[in-house]
Amino acid sequence: MRPTGAGLAGHPDRDRWNSRYSGDFSPSFAPHPLAAQALSLELPAGPVADLACGPSGSALLAAGAGRAVTAVDVSEVALALLSEEARRRHLDRLITLVHADLAAWRPDPEGYALVLCTGYWDRALLDVAAAAARPGGLLGWEAFTTAALRERPGMNPGWCLGPGEPASLLPADFRVLDQADVPGAKRRLLARRAVAAPQAPGHGTRWRASGATQRQRCPGAGDRPAITPASVPAAWPCGVLAGAPPARRTAREAGKH
Ligand SMILES: C[S@@+](CC[C@H](N)C(=O)[O-])C[C@H]1O[C@@H](n2cnc3c(N)ncnc32)[C@H](O)[C@@H]1O
């Protein structure tokens, strides 16, 4: 494991989260409910991206279901905790750890069957994450809403979802399966990217909805509770990839809970 991703020395988010995950911190490795929900739905073949993963039970759940996982975090302490647990569960072959600042890290477009981000909000990252979802794939997000500012008035409002967000910010080829406020002044979104229909001669690209029609709250509607067998790439070694270039934004510009 490389101890420091390029450009992350002295990064305020890295320092803050490294110290939070150090000392007597003991990770639960409980998967996020959104990960469990998403992985129970129909998904295309392909890997899962867990953004701002922390010592992620979600990544472990996805790997346990046979998915290759790319787990990204600015804290190498979190990644080390995840790595150790992945090895203990013999899942390390499936999990690629990426030590990077999400302000700069860029995933492969249409590279992931499921893109998950919980406990973190960055408006710009939503576009990047949405573009990383495969046609027919899912995007899952949970972050604070502005209601959290009542209890934490010092928090940067830029870390909080505004009314209707993030569903209202999704590209047009996404269908909202579920968006709901959850305890703790947070909002949870699950959305599916449309599958491109085969192009008929003489016609432009048409889109076929996969899953539920657009609405704010329709739990599970149109989705079958079955996991499509994933095609697992042969070589996804468990290790920390190179860090990303230095962030262009300050820590205060993105929502780190
Ligand atoms: C509230 S925790 C969420 C962890 C996990 N996703 C969960 O739901 O339990 C926020 C995570 O975001 C990571 N993080 C904060 N700023 C980041 C940044 N700029 N780039 C990448 N990860 C960051 C932290 O290291 C931390 O693990």
What's the CATH number where 131 sits?
A: 3.40.50.150
pLDDT of residue 5: 72
Residue 67 resides in a domain: yes
CA angle 125, 30, 108 (to 5 degrees): 30
- Strand runs (DSSP E) across the chain, as ranges? 48-51, 69-73, 95-99, 112-118, 120-121, 133-144, 174-182, 186-193, 195-196, 207-208, 240-241, 255-256
Report the candidate in 233, 208, 209 with the shortest Cα–Cα distance to residue 221.
209
CA distance 144 to 118: 10
> Ligand 1 mean position to 119 CA, how many Å?
6
State yes or no: pLDDT of 27 exceeds 50: yes
120-121/95-99 β-pairing: unpaired
- Atom 26 (ligand 1) nearest CA: 54
Question: Residue 205 C-alpha to ligand 1 middle, in angstroms?
Answer: 37
Task: Give residues (CB < 6 A) around ligand 1.
Answer: 13, 17, 32, 52-54, 56, 73-75, 78, 101-103, 118-120, 254, 256-257
Residue 185 CA to ligand 1 centre (angstroms): 17
Q: Which domain holds residue 94?
A: 12-19+45-198+212-244
Residue pair 14/244 in contact (Cβ under 8 Å)? The answer is no
Beta carbons within 10 angstroms of residue 40's beta carbon = 15
**109 within some domain:** yes
Q: Is residue 253 in a domain?
A: no
249 within domain boundaries: no
174: β partners: 193
Give just the sign of the alpha carbon dihedral 108, 110, 113, 114: positive
Residue 250 in domain: no
Q: At 129, is the pLDDT very low, low, confident or very high (cuts 50, 70, 90)?
A: very high
User: Is 207 part of a structural domain of the chain?
Assistant: no
Q: Which of 44-48, 204-208, 233-237 has the lowest mean pLDDT?
A: 233-237
pLDDT greater than 50 at residue 37: yes
Which ligand 1 atom minimizes the distance to the CA of 32?
8
Helices (H), ranges, the chain? 12-20, 33-39, 57-64, 76-88, 123-132, 148-151
Average pLDDT of the residues in 216-242: 37
Q: What are phi and psi of 139, to 5 degrees?
A: -125, 125
Residue 5 lies in a domain: no
Sequence-separated (6 or more) residues with CB below 8 Å from residue 51:
72, 102, 115, 116, 117, 120, 125, 129
Q: Is residue 227 part of a domain?
A: yes
| Nearest partner of 39 among 57, 21, 15, judged by Cα | 57
What integer best gives the mean pLDDT of the chain? Answer: 83
CA angle 82, 83, 87 (to 5 degrees): 115
Q: How many domains does the chain have?
A: 1
pLDDT at 127 over 60: yes
